[in-house]
Amino acid sequence: MEIQKQRLREILFQIELLKRRKVQRFLLEIGLTPGQGQARILIYLSSHSSVTQKEIADGCMLDVTTMSRVLNKMEEMELIIRRRDPGCRRAYQISLTEAGRQKAEEVSRGFERLEEILAGNLTEEEIGSLTAGLGKIKASLEAEEEIQALIRR
């Protein structure tokens, strides 16, 4: 059993590395900076119009302080536009420009292609089983994080 657990860890690690390389190469090809969350922000904004920086950070699971630099860069690239929030003078409403919508569609197509690659050799039944198993792994990791947070208090 220990060998199987070790093999699982190794396979998950290798998959993550291979996936990361593919995504990084893709993002560079379309003019985005890998590792900054630009792709996630574009996808999020494509389905949420005019939201705050905090809403984006929460929706994309990104740090709010990092978001400011990323959004500045995306604004320079003319992918987003910021408008003062009429309800709060310190906040901005952020939305996609037309160029941002086009880039979001490009990102979405690239991620759909990645999904096709990931599931390419699997049957529907295998995808269901694998998804269920990975969901259990995710739940275990989340439970462990909650336990650690409680211990630190």
Q: Where are the domains of the chain?
A: 36-121, 122-153
Residues 59-94 have pLDDT tens digits of 998 887 788 899 999 999 999 999 887 777 777 889
Identify whether the C-beta of residue 75 lies closer than 8 Å to the C-beta of residue 81: yes
Residues 21-56 have pLDDT tens digits of 999 999 999 999 998 899 999 999 999 988 988 899
Rounded CA-CA distance 100/97 in Å is 5
Q: pTM of whole model > 0.95?
A: no
For residue 114, the one-letter residue type is L
Q: From 1.20.1050.10, 1.10.10.10, 1.20.120.400, 2.40.50.140, which CATH number describes the 36-121 domain?
A: 1.10.10.10
Structure tokens at 141: 């990791």
CA distances from 150 to 58, 138, 141, 144 (A): 22, 19, 14, 10
Identify whether the C-beta of residue 96 lies closer than 8 Å to the C-beta of residue 42: yes
Q: What is the DSSP letter of 96?
A: E
Rounded CA-CA distance 11/111 in Å is 21
